[in-house]
Amino acid sequence: MSNTARWSDLGPRVISAVVMLAIGAVALWLGGYVFAVGVWVIGALMIWELVRMLAPDARGAPVRLALVSGGALVLAWLLPGMLVLPLLIGAAIVGAGQLPRDWVRYACFAAAILLACHAMVMLREVAGLAWILWVICVVIASDVAGYFVGKTLGGRKFWPRISPKKTWSGTIGGWVAAALVGFIFGAVTGAGVLLAPISVLIAFAGQMGDIWESAIKRHAGVKDSSNLIPGHGGVLDRFDAMLGAALAASLLWGLSLMPGLA
């Protein structure tokens, strides 16, 4: 592959990334309903893309299930915490019943989307700005490092059957970047050096989210989840790693295994 072809998608990726970072930074800083609504919209769009991939012939289902899922996220914000898990999982199961096939695949991935979106909102509003920034920076650093290291060094594929573009060099590069982010935020948050290995775990969970979405696309026979974001494909293509990272971070938080975060 020529150098030109290898880096041909860099321009659109960078422009889209800058726009998303700018919008995301404002929403993160403001927090509250501004951030929550942004996450709810992203979650609904991911459900829309998921339905379009798994059941492209189910007319009206993508929009209908996106609205139902967005509504479930809003209710999860308003209702007591004990009702959140059954509400969001129930929304995913109800949505699966509206599809002509791939019910289990949809229910599992939709539940992951909804739970991860709710986790992101809770991290911002309860844990605080520093902790949601930590998760985001781990994902971005591991993704960017993985992209550039993988493109530069190449080498053996990480999981060629599902995600043929990912290499072990890029994967390890992403882990190193995540550890560096962990060291920085360990000092900022008071969590200490233990946040570095935990950051690697969060990065790995993010990479598994990416792999899971790649498996969905391979099953559906599509290259991208949609074409909503130039250079990145769809919303799921951009935020798949964030799903895995948010789920892992919220699980560690819930189990009181996050240093510096009660």
pLDDT tens digits, 14-43? 777 788 888 989 999 999 999 999 999 999
pTM score: 0.90
Show the tokens assigned to 89: 């999982």
Tokens of 74: 């809003």
Query: Do 118 and 133 belong to one domain?
Result: no
Asked if the structure places residue 26 within a domain, the reply is no
Is 24 domain-assigned? no
Does one domain contain both 160 and 87? Answer: no
List the domain range (segments joined by +) for residue 107.
31-127
Same domain, yes or no, for 54 and 133? no
**Same domain? 120 vs 233:** no
Q: What is the pLDDT of residues 166-213, one digit of tens each?
A: 787 888 999 999 999 999 999 999 899 999 999 999 999 999 999 999
Query: Among the three residues 100, 127, 154, which one is the final residue of a domain in this structure?
Result: 127
Asked if residues 57 and 47 have their Cβ atoms less than 8 Å apart, the reply is: no
Answer yes or no: are the C-beta atoms of 180 and 193 closer than 8 Å: no
In this structure, are residues 235 and 228 in contact, taking their beta carbons and an 8 Å threshold?
yes
Q: Is the pLDDT of residue 164 over 70?
A: no
Asked whether residue 60 is assigned to any structural domain, the reply reads yes
